[in-house]
Amino acid sequence: MLSQKPECAIVPGRARHRNELCSPAQCAPVKPNSRRFREPRIDQDTVLHSSGHDPGSPTLRNLYVKTVPPPDLNKNTSWFQYPGVWTSYLLLIFFGWLVALSIFGCSAGSAWSIVHLLHFAITYWSFHWKKGTPFAEDQGMYNKLTWWEQMDNGRQLTRNRKFLMVVPVVLYLIACHTTDYSSPWLFPNTIAVFVLVIAKFPNMHKVRIFGINSDYPT
């Protein structure tokens, strides 16, 4: 009794005779989910290009939503974002050192300590104590916020905030180094930089320690 020849699977693109011999791998039954007959994957970019639409075209790019940070409309703080403000700030500190050196006739270290303490007193009062704005357009929106809390719309760790945190630290190091870390300047310089830097921490935003300078009764 003659053995029956196995029928080969029909491979797309190649015709094979019924009685033609084939290898066992070719004669294996083809599963419907096999990789050979898997449907081609349709790429979204291919569909867009075939339809005549470029994914990088301005028409499709306009469909995406872009988040733009709101501009700082507060006139009390927007001036600090102007070009050259950082340079002017540093030059003003250096000019103050020259004035202290000329008026008091002291050493360079003592002049730097005087500038550091004056910088602490002025910036702490204007940045962290005084509230509100001198402009009436805000309609009392910032009456309970200090200048530091108003800056950059309240966003933390911005470039301006980091700059204003670094300046007192550098002034403290210069003042202590030029005075050889000796008294009587070491203690007041340390207290000044400690208070000023702590007040600028993000965790201290809108915080009133012991209710000091608070608008609400404790």
Say if residue 218's pLDDT is above 50.
no
Q: Where are the domains of the chain?
A: 78-211
Please tell me which residue, 43 or 181, carries the higher pLDDT value.
181
Cβ(75)–Cβ(65) below 8 Å:
no
Distance between CA atoms of residues 113 and 100, nearest Å:
10
Burial class (CB in 10 A: 0-12, 13-18, 19+), 91: exposed
Residue range 11-20, pLDDT digits in tens = 554 545 555 5
Dist. CA 183–CA 194, nearest whole Å? 17
How far is 195 from 172, CA to CA, in rounded Å?
12
pLDDT tens digits for range 83-98: 999 999 999 999 999 9
Q: Is the per-residue pLDDT at 130 higher than 70?
A: yes
Rama region for 40: left / alpha / beta (φ>0; ψ in -120 to 50; rest): beta
Q: What Cα–Cα distance (Å) separates residue 216 from each residue in 98, 206, 210, 211?
A: 43, 12, 11, 8
Q: Which two tokens stand for residue 158?
A: 């911005």
Phi/psi-derived region of residue 213, left when phi > 0, alpha when psi is between -120 and 50, beta in every other case: left
Does 69 sit behind a cis peptide bond, omega within 30 degrees of 0 on the bond before it? no
What are residue 30's phi and psi, to 5 degrees?
A: -90, 125
Residues 151-190: pLDDT tens digits?
Answer: 999 999 999 999 999 999 999 999 999 999 998 999 999 9
pLDDT above 90 coverage of the chain, percent:
53
